[in-house]
Structure 1
Amino acid sequence: LNNSSYELNTHFVIRVPNQQLDSLLEAVGREATFTNYRRVTSTDVTEEFVDIQIRLKTKKEVRDRYIEILRNQARTVEDILRAEEQIRVVQEEIEAKEGRLKYLQNQVSLSTLNLNTYQRIPYQPEPDLYKESFGSKVKRKFLAGWDLFIDLLLLIVNLWPLILIGAIVIWQRKRIAGLFRRRKKT
């Protein structure tokens, strides 16, 4: 739920069985005063599903071969540990593939509807709940004036090289002007 001064927004995620998606879309469409935007998409996961099933079958066969090696051919502790490590690695891969298959089955069996609704509401200015007292206003304005004074001082400090150059230029001009006046008198 998202509110602003102009709009009330809501986002829903609805999961329904595939067979009921069309009837849900129709029901939502009947309830809507105006449909701003509608997009229906589907993703075909058949290729990924079949690929995972084949890989899963292969991984289980590899795991079974390692178990067979462990039972019949492993003689030393080192052989046993190597076979068990390989079984563990393959078993983790099997579990990951099975988890992905379950996820895909869930995605295929249920459709997901992302529904965004909004309602325009007339603008209403926020009520002024706090009325500032005269003393607070005076204090705030005094502090603002003080901040301005400090900022001006900092500006002068920041511009000191320009002020120094300007003072030297003015001093030189007066000095040169004074020399010309003395020469004219003589």
Structure 2
Amino acid sequence: MRPAARRRTPVLLSFVAVLLAVLLAAAACSSAGSDDDGGVNPASDAAEREVPADAPAMTEGRDGVAERSIGDNAPLDSADQLSVALDAAGRPDDGATDRKIIAKGNVSLESDDVEAAVVDVQKISDRYFGEITERETTTNDDGDVKTARLLLRIPVADFDKAFLALQEVADLETANTGKEDVTTQVIDTQVRIRAQRRSLARVEALLDRAQSISDIVRIEGQLTRRQADLESLERRLSYLSNQTSMSTISVNISLPPPAKEREKKEEPEEAGFLAGLEDGWKALKSFGTDTATITGKALPFAGVLLVIGAPLFLVLRRLRRGDDDAPAPAAPADA
């Protein structure tokens, strides 16, 4: 009997081992299935526990971009808008990668004929498809133009050529120029505009779904503020586009100082009878002019003196006659 009992014991142990292996395999499969079918993920559970209770909820907006729901929390700030726009829009426009330069220049010239120099400046502006946006001139006593100030807008691509051409119009006194690279500002403004437009679209969608009066008022406030921010960004982009497409050159033209005029017009003095006669005639004309000027200035005073002095003279003359007609005093009698 004992040998039979010994044979049954290994068989029973083998059966138990197989049964345990089957149970373990089934438990492993059940655990894997529960994880795949929506079981709790320890990592995600920890992440959810780390999120503050008052944090704004995140929803999936258009184009798969995560966005905050409008509630009691603050709106998206500039950094969030920029991040969302970069993720949603990808890279900036192809044209935005070109360098954007603001170019300005100033040229001061001297010319014996300021009016002719102004005409030459206009020709240079027309040659490079520019325009004169401001023009200011002054004249002397003879009616000739003595100073001129012109403000030119020239395409940025032709700025250097136009600047050099303007320096050759007349005698150059001073010339200076400056350039500023605003490529980063242009790209940043474009990205912020795209982000602001997407933000407006999301707020408008939320406004359509609002149910309570408080939500409508709060969302409309956000909509107004974001619309104002968008208009400000668009104005800034318009200014940058204008400045980077057309450069600005200020041109100042004036007559040379009197000392320079004498240096330029130095000529040997003529001698002889005709030269002396011409100088005498000029002196006579100058004397006649000065005399006529003095007479004209004194004539009003003479009229005033005549009106006041004539009656006064008559009064004094009558008083003097009265004194002459008075009887002489009698001589004293001798004792």
- Please indicate, yes or no, whether the TM-score normalized by the shorter chain is above 0.5: yes
- Classify the TM-score, shorter chain: 0.5 to 0.7
- Alpha-carbon distance in structure 2 between the residues aligned to 1:82 and 1:131: 82
In the TM superposition, residue 98 of structure 1 has moved relative to its aligned partner by: 0.8
- Counterpart for residue 136 of structure 1: 301
For the residue of structure 1 that corresponds to 2:173, the secondary structure is coil
Greater fraction helix: 1
- Counterparts of 2:213 and 2:188 in 1: how far apart (Å)? 36
Amino acid in structure 2 at the alignment position of 1:10: A
Is it true that 1:53 corresponds to 2:218 in the alignment?
Answer: no
- What SS does the aligned partner of 1:35 have? strand
The residue that corresponds to 2:30 in the other structure is none
Matched residue of 1:120: which SS? coil
> Structure 1: which 5+ residue stretches go unaligned?
140-186
Equivalent position SS for 1:117: strand
Could you say what secondary structure the match of 1:36 adopts?
strand
Structure 1 counterpart of 2:255: 119
Residue 218 (structure 2) pairs with residue 82 (structure 1): yes
User: Larger C-alpha radius of gyration, 1 or 2?
Assistant: 2
Structure 2: unaligned runs, 5 residues or longer: 1-136, 262-289, 305-335
Q: SS of 2:249's equivalent?
A: strand
Higher relative contact order (CA 8 A, sep 6+): 1
Task: Quote the offset at 1:113 in angstroms.
Answer: 0.9
**CA apart distance, 1:43:** 1.5
Residue of structure 2 in register with 1:151 after alignment: none
- The equivalent of 1:66 in structure 2 is 203
SS at structure 2 position matched to 1:106: helix
What is the rounded CA distance, in whole Å, between the counterparts of 2:220 and 2:256 in structure 1? 64
**TM-score by structure 2 length?**
0.35
Q: Deviations for 1:11-40, whole angstroms, at most 9, x for unmatched residues?
A: 1111111122222223222222x1100101
Tell whether the 8 Å contact from 1:11 to 1:116 is kept in structure 2 after alignment.
Answer: yes
Q: Secondary structure of 2:175's partner?
A: coil
Separation of aligned partners in 2, 1:24 and 1:101: 26
1:26 matches 2:191: no
Partner of 1:148: none
CA distance in 1, matches of 2:294, 2:229: 62
What do the CA deviations read for 1:47-97 (whole angstroms, capped 9, x no partner)?
32222223223322322221121122x102332232122212211110110
Secondary structure of 2:148's aligned partner: strand
Match of 2:181 in 1: 44
RMSD: 3.1
Distance (Å, rounded) in 1 between the aligned partners of 2:162 and 2:183: 25
Over residues 134-157 of structure 1, what are the superposed CA-to-partner deviations in whole Å (9 max), with x where a residue is unaligned?
453797xxxxxxxxxxxxxxxxxx
Aligned to 2:155: 17
Contact 1:8/1:121 (8 A) holds in 2: no
CA contact (8 A) 1:8 1:120 kept: no
